[in-house]
Amino acid sequence: MPRIYLDYNATTPVDPSVLKEVCSILKNYPGNPSSVYEEGRSARILIEDSRQFIRSFLGANQKDGIIFTSSGSESINLALIGTVNFYRRQNKKSIPHIITTAVEHPAVLNAFKFLENSGVETTYIRINNSGELMLDELLLSIKKNTILVSVMGANNETGTIFPIRRIFEQVKKINENIIAHSDLVQFIGKVDFSLKDFPLDMLSFSGHKFYAPKGAGVLYFKKGLHLDPIIHGGHQERGLRAGTENTAGIAGMAKALEIFEKNKEQELKKISSYGSMFFDMLFSSLEGIRLNGHPVNRLKNTINISIDGVKSETLLFNLDLCGISASAGSACNAGKFVKSHVLEAHGYDRSRIESSIRFSIGRWTTEADIEYAVNAIKKTTLKLRSMT
Ligand code: PLP
C-alpha cells in the first residue's frame, strides 16, 4: 500500500537535490571548520557561503548576526534565554518582563516557563475563537520593564498566520527598544518573506521544515543586539553557540532555501490550489466537520478540522492503516494524546478538541493523494460514526 504523507508541518522529506549535496559534503568535506589546514578551511568556506546566502535570502544587513544552531527549538531558546541573561547581567537590580502568546510552540512556551521560574515576569496574550491575537491586550500589557515580545509567524497546529508586521509596528510605537522576536519555523519556506517588510530584531527557523535535513536551525539577530550563549564551550558562531558546526546540515539548509527561492512562485501557487482543493473536497463530502483556526489568514498547506462524533486518536490510527500520515496536535505531542493548548486557547469545547486532526500538504503532494485521502477520511469517519 502506498504511503500518503500529509504531515509536512511536522517535518518534510529531504529534497533529492539537497540530499545529493549533503551526501557529497559528508564525503568530500571531512574537516572541522575551525581547523586551519585545507580540510578545515574548505568546510569553513561552505559554512560562510551558506551564511551569506541566508543573509541575502532574509534581506538582512551584512553586520546582522546569523547563528547556526541544531534546530528551531535551540534558536528560540538562544533568542529568549540569551537575551534575558544578557539583560540581567547588565541590569542586576531590574526584573525583566517578556511577552508572548498563549498559542506558541512549546519551544517558546517552555523557554518562557524556564525564565519565569528564575524570576522573570511573563505575560501570555490570548487569542479569540477565530485564532486572532488580542493585540489591544498585548499593547496594554507592555510595561516599563518589558524588554522582549515574541510572536510566531504562523501557528504549527492551525496554520493561522499572525499579522506580525502590524503587531510589531504597534509594539515599537510604544517602545522602540523592545526586542521583537518571531518564531518563523512554520513561515520560512512556506510564505514569501523578507526582513525589509517586517520590523523584527530576531527570528528563528529550522531547516527540516523546508526539505533540508533535521539538525540545522538559524537564529537571526539585528546588528547591535546582545545575547549570552546558552551552550558553553568553544568560540564557534561568534561565541554564541559552542560546538563544531554541522557543515553538511548548514549547507543543506542553504541549498533548500535556494531551491525554494527559485521555485517559490510556482510552489506557493500549487500549494494554495491543492490546499483549497483538499479543503473543498473535504467539506463537500462530509457533514459535521469544522475548521479550526482562522478561516482566511492561514497557511494554505494546513487544514486543521474537528470531525463530529470521531475521536482524533481513533481516526489517526485508522487512517494510518489506510496508509495516511496526519497528526493531532503538534508533532512533539504525536504518539500520545495531549490536549492541544492551541485549540484550548481558542475556547473550543472538549469534544471539538478531542476530535481535531491536522493535515498538512507539501512539495510532493499530488491531486491523487488528496482524492485518496478525502475518500479514506470519509469512509473511516462514516464507519467510526456508525459504530458509536
Ligand atoms: N516552532 C514551531 C512553530 C514549530 O512548528 C516547531 C516544530 O514543529 C518548532 C518551533 C521547533 O522546531 P525544531 O523541531 O526544529 O526544534
pLDDT tens digits along 302-333: 999 999 999 999 999 999 999 999 998 644 45
Cell of 64: 546582522
Comparing 4-12+264-387 with 16-258, is the CATH topology the same?
A: no
pLDDT at 334 over 80: no
Identify whether 332 is a catalytic site residue: yes
Q: What is the pLDDT of residues 199-246, one digit of tens each?
A: 999 999 999 999 999 999 999 999 999 999 999 999 999 999 999 999
The domain made up of 4-12+264-387 is a member of CATH 3.40.50.300:
no
The atom number, within ligand 1, closest to the CA of 330 reads 8
302-307 and 356-360 strand pairing: antiparallel
Domain ranges of the chain: 4-12+264-387, 16-258
CATH fold of 16-258: Aspartate Aminotransferase; domain 2 (3.40.640)
Residues with CB under 6 A from ligand 1: 71-73, 105, 107, 152, 156, 183, 185-186, 206, 208, 217, 330-331
CA of 142 to the centre of ligand 1 (A): 26
Band (338; pLDDT cuts 50, 70, 90): confident
User: Kindly report the CA angle at 287 between 281 and 290, in degrees rounded to 5?
Assistant: 80
Q: Which conformational region is residue 369 in: left (phi greater than 0), alpha (psi within -120 to 50 degrees), or beta? A: alpha
pLDDT at 30 over 80: yes
The atom number, within ligand 1, closest to the CA of 11 reads 8
pLDDT at 336 over 80: no
Q: Tell me the whole-structure pTM to 2 decimals.
A: 0.97
How buried is 3 (Cβ within 10 angstroms: 0-12 exposed, 13-18 middle, 19+ buried)? exposed
Over residues 367-377, mean pLDDT: 98
